[in-house]
Structure 1
Amino acid sequence: MATIGTFTRTGDSFEGTVSTLILNAEVQFRPTEKSSEKAPDYRVFAGRAEIGAAWKKTSNEGRNYLSVKLDDPSLPAPIQANLFSVDGGDFELIWSRPTPKRRPD
């Protein structure tokens, strides 16, 4: 797992920075009006460019978080991450490498 972003809550939104080896952007999570149950709860923007979406989730331990998908033409593949609250009211965007799917024998 790696922390690739730090955020603060401002009203209903989250603002912060996402930093990886190829991405360094000021980012904002803006709430959406859901048009269906599967629609995202937030759209993710870097400036005026929409770079992702996020869905509200609850962990097995009852902890609320956002499941985030970031995508951009400069990325080789979408980034899947989770936005969690940490001590002091700040939030961290945590990425971990997906587990490869096993091939059937």
Structure 2
Amino acid sequence: MATIGTFTRNQDGTFQGSIRTLTLNTKVRFVPTGVAESDKAPDLRAYAGNNGIEFGAAWTKRTKDGARVYHSVKLDDPSFPNPIYASLVETADANTFSLVWSR
């Protein structure tokens, strides 16, 4: 697993940061969706750059022992060969989060 992004959580519940890979280098905001339309609806939407193009979503999860909360992230775009799956996890630094890629 590799860290592909770093984020900070704002007081309004948004996450702001950037994602950097060999082919992707963009500023990203994760924005709360508000009231869920269904049990499977995402909790956050991901928007790229200043133009606000939606290219992903995140679902709030808990670790198996229930001790920690994280976000399961799926990013996708027609330019990607496959979706990117990652976890947005809190780091040891308060209010700082890492986007950790997984295959």
TM-score higher than 0.5: yes
Q: 1:50-90 CA distances to partner (integer Å, 9 max, x unpaired)?
A: 01000000011321100000001221000000000001121
Look up the match of 1:42: 44
Match of residue 88, structure 1, among 90, 93, 99: 93
Look up the match of 1:101: none
- Other structure's SS at 1:88 match: coil
2:68 and 2:48 mapped to 1: Cα distance?
27
Percent identity at matched positions? 55
Aligned structure 1 segments of 4 or more residues deviating by more than 3 angstroms: none
- Other structure's SS at 2:93 match: helix
Look up the match of 2:15: 14
Gaps of 5+ in 2: none
Look up the match of 1:63: 68
| Larger of the two Rg values belongs to structure | 1
Look up the match of 1:100: none
TM-score (norm 1): 0.89
TM-score (norm 2): 0.90
Gaps of 5+ in 1: 98-105
Match of residue 51, structure 1, among 49, 55, 60: 55
Matched letter for residue 27 of structure 1: V
1:74 and 1:15 mapped to 2: Cα distance?
23
